[in-house]
Amino acid sequence: MVDTASLQKYSLFGALQPAEIEKVTPFMGHIEFDAGAVVIEEGKPNDRIFFVLEGRFEVWKSGVRLLEIGEGETFGEMEILDVMPSAATIRAISPARLVTISNRGIHGIFHMDARIFAILMMNLARDLSRRLRFMDEQATSSRHVQ
């Protein structure tokens, strides 16, 4: 079981009080991976958000390494919203420990407390917007207007 204080560092739980985060923890799962393990494979189904408690991961898209993520970060959010195959491959580059929330867990949170669900979804939208802006900057930083 992960403690509430550990979850407060994740932007997904922003604006939630510790007691509200406690209400969400029964909907979470725990998983561990060895270095080299593929957590999500591009083009394959994924039904959960992953919260990195320990370890480092690399993100690959179409055979290109995009970035590295680690403790305090999340991945898998896109598939929670659009229910499409995974957009990228996520591979552990060190032993890792994660907490997850599945689509079913998100549904359970909605039925338990619609306010908490709404805050989680707003935070998720903000996170994805920040990532989109970052990737836009990455894609255009090498281009120069002539």
**Residue-by-residue pLDDT tens, the chain, 146 positions:** 677 888 888 888 999 999 999 999 999 999 999 999 999 999 999 999 999 999 999 999 999 998 899 998 899 988 888 878 999 999 999 999 999 999 999 999 999 999 999 999 999 989 888 888 887 887 788 665 55
Of 43, 70, 45, give the one whose Cα is nearest residue 56. 70
Report the C-alpha gap between 74 and 88 in whole angstroms: 13
Domain 4-139 sits in CATH at 2.60.120.10
What pLDDT is stored for residue 142 in this prediction? 66
Which pTM was predicted?
0.87
Do 49 and 43 meet the contact criterion of CB atoms below 8 Å apart? Answer: no
| CB proximity list for 68: less than 8 A, separation 6 or greater | 56, 57, 58, 59, 93
Place of tokens 């407060």: 8
What pLDDT is stored for residue 1 in this prediction? 62
What pLDDT is stored for residue 128 in this prediction? 86
Count CA atoms within 13 Å of residue 42 on its CB side: 13
Burial track 69-96 (b if 16+ CB lie within 10 A, e otherwise)? beeebbbbbbbbeeeeebbbbbbbeeeb
What pLDDT is stored for residue 145 in this prediction? 52
* Other residues' Cβ atoms within 10 Å of the Cβ of residue 63: 7
